[in-house]
Amino acid sequence: MTDPVTATPDSDLRPRFWENVPLEDLSKPEWEALCDRCGRCCLLKLEDADTQEIEFTNVSCRLFDGATSSCGNYALRKQLVKDCVVLSPENISRIAYWMPVTCAYRLLFEGRTLFDWHPLVSGRADSVFEAGISMHDRVIPEYEINEDDLEDHIIEGMA
Ligand code: SF4
């Protein structure tokens, strides 16, 4: 078996950094490499104002590209979508609770480890899709539904 870290093309990544480097001490490339490109954080969510319980829907942000399971304009996302949250080591403590339970940032923030299908562990980007985690071709863009119908699009197992 190939060491997944060695297989990672970005040589700036320290060996198995996700296991031994705190989130606040990660380099920019390491922080970015944590994202598995699942696209789940780009889904619209419903939050109970009293309990803070989160429900995910299969409706995506208008910038999300379902064909590639990634943001259609990552560099300008905050300018184009004012509600977009740019995750960082500084705000993870406030945001982790509404990230998907499979999200690498949430897992590490909560003291857990990455799943075997994470590309840093498997050494392959396709493992996210094979594990059924990717939202590739599984979403409806927000501009194709009526906002009042969002509850009809709730999906289980993400929060
Ligand atoms: S949910 Fe987490 S791992 Fe998935 S795309 Fe969003 S930030 Fe990346």
DSSP 15-48: TTHHHHS-GGG--HHHHHHH-----GGGEEEEE-
List the domain range (segments joined by +) for residue 138. 24-155
Tell me which residue has its CA closest to atom 6 in ligand 1.
Answer: 41
Q: What separation in Å is there between the alpha carbon of 129 and the centre of ligand 1? A: 13
pTM of the predicted model as reported, rounded to 2 decimal places: 0.89
pLDDT of residue 9: 52
> pLDDT for 95-132, tens place per residue?
999 999 999 999 999 999 999 999 999 999 999 999 99
Protein residues with CB under 6 Å of any ligand 1 atom: 35-41, 99-100, 103-105
CA-to-CA dists, residue 30 to 16, 21, 49, angstroms? 10, 10, 34
Q: Please give the tally of structural domains in the chain.
A: 1
81 is a domain residue: yes
106 is a domain residue: yes
Strands 43-47 and 54-60: antiparallel
83 is a domain residue: yes
Q: What separation in Å is there between the alpha carbon of 153 and the centre of ligand 1? A: 20
Tell me which residue has its CA closest to atom 7 in ligand 1.
Answer: 35
* Contact criterion met (CB below 8 Å) for 94 and 87: no
**Arithmetic mean of pLDDT over the chain:** 92
3 is a domain residue: no
> pLDDT for 24-71, tens place per residue?
999 999 999 999 999 999 999 999 999 989 999 999 999 999 888 899
79 is a domain residue: yes
19 is a domain residue: no
14 is a domain residue: no
Q: What separation in Å is there between the alpha carbon of 42 and the centre of ligand 1? A: 8
The minimum-distance atom of ligand 1 relative to the CA of 42 is 6
Tell me which DSSP letter residue 144 carries: G
Tell me which residue has its CA closest to atom 4 in ligand 1.
Answer: 38
7 is a domain residue: no
